[in-house]
Amino acid sequence: MKIAFLGLGIMGRPMAARLVAAGHEVTVWNRTPSRADLPGARTAATPAQAAAGAEVVWVCVSDTAASERVFLAEDGVLAAAAPGLLAADSSTISPQASRRIAARLAERGATLLDCPVTGSKQGAESGKLVFIAGGPKEAVARLQPLFQVMGQRVFHIGGNGMGLAAKLAMNLNIALIYQGFCEGLVLAEKSGVSAGQMLEIIGATMLRSGVIEYKAPFIRARDYSPNFPLKLMLKDIRLMLEHARSLQTELPALQTVAGIYEQAVRQGLGEQDYAATLGLMERQSGLAEA
């Protein structure tokens, strides 16, 4: 397929690289030109230039503003959207904003799927992402060959914005599970139980969790290099709270966790992995970081 891939960050780059390796004809665009080249792919100067003549446009950028820029700016995808174009947005953004972008593309006969991903950097590199899609069923079917190259599974939840709604609910769980783990660990460490002992107990009991299993090697090494940057988890937490407000729904525990992430960003931890909130909790409780 002729694919335009827009956004070569931690997630986008390995996703696009897998499409190139699978033999697709890929043109890439990235906001910062110094990070806009990918072996085996052409580079375009604007999103519109990348999208011109493409069958599929795949987007993976940071946030709502970035996605709006890529699709709707003067040199955005919309400017080059031909009838039949299929766009897939793997950025985690506001469901409402994604629906608005879908409506603008539909005016041009183009289709948008929101298809945020889960699986982090490792999942993107190994082609083991899970896609959570919202939009027309036929579009999901047409994209199957690409989903298969980048992921292990695709869930089609419903119409536009529904993939994002499910993704936000999932990341809410991740943020709360990890915060629960941090507080449990800090309490254990303050009592003289080691992090290693706690991780072993968690892994052997009903407390076992995919989130903690994934994070355990990084926690043991206190390696907070970004797999999922803390600032992006905070972006998602804000989206969850905004989405909940629009549905007149209270999220009291998440509200508290939001404050911790805000504080972490103020302390300069935004570029680190969200696992770095553990270091923050440890420092606040007077524990020296291992």
Which region among 87-95, 183-191, 195-203, 216-224 touches ligand NA7 (by CB under 6 A)? 87-95
Backbone angles phi, psi at 157, to 5 degrees: -90, -40
Q: Is residue 91 at the binding interface for ligand NA7, with CB under 6 A as the rule?
A: yes
Give residues 231-250 in contact with ligand NA7 (rule: CB under 6 A): 232, 236
Q: Is residue 64 at the binding interface for ligand NA7, with CB under 6 A as the rule?
A: no
Angstrom CA distances, 285 to 183, 185, 187, 282, stand at 10, 11, 9, 5
Q: Is residue 95 at the binding interface for ligand NA7, with CB under 6 A as the rule?
A: no
Q: How far is the CB of 61 from ligand NA7 (least distance, A)?
A: 4
Backbone angles phi, psi at 143, to 5 degrees: -90, 0
Residue whose C-beta lies closest to ligand NA7? 9
39: burial class by Cβ within 10 Å (0-12, 13-18, 19+)?
Answer: exposed
Which region among 88-96, 144-152, 197-205, 217-225 touches ligand NA7 (by CB under 6 A)? 88-96
Q: Which of 121, 128, 167, 190 is catalytic?
A: 167
Angstrom CA distances, 82 to 17, 90, 101, 177, 272, stand at 25, 21, 15, 44, 40
- Residue with token string 């407000």: 245
Q: How far is the CB of 7 from ligand NA7 (least distance, A)?
A: 4
Residue 22, Cβ neighbours under 10 Å: how many?
15
Give residues 16-45 in contact with ligand NA7 (rule: CB under 6 A): 30-32, 35
Is residue 167 among the annotated active site residues?
yes
The length of the chain, given as a count of residues: 290
Residues forming contacts to ligand NA7 in the complex (CB under 6 A) are: 7-12, 30-32, 35, 60-62, 65-66, 69-70, 90-92, 229, 232, 236
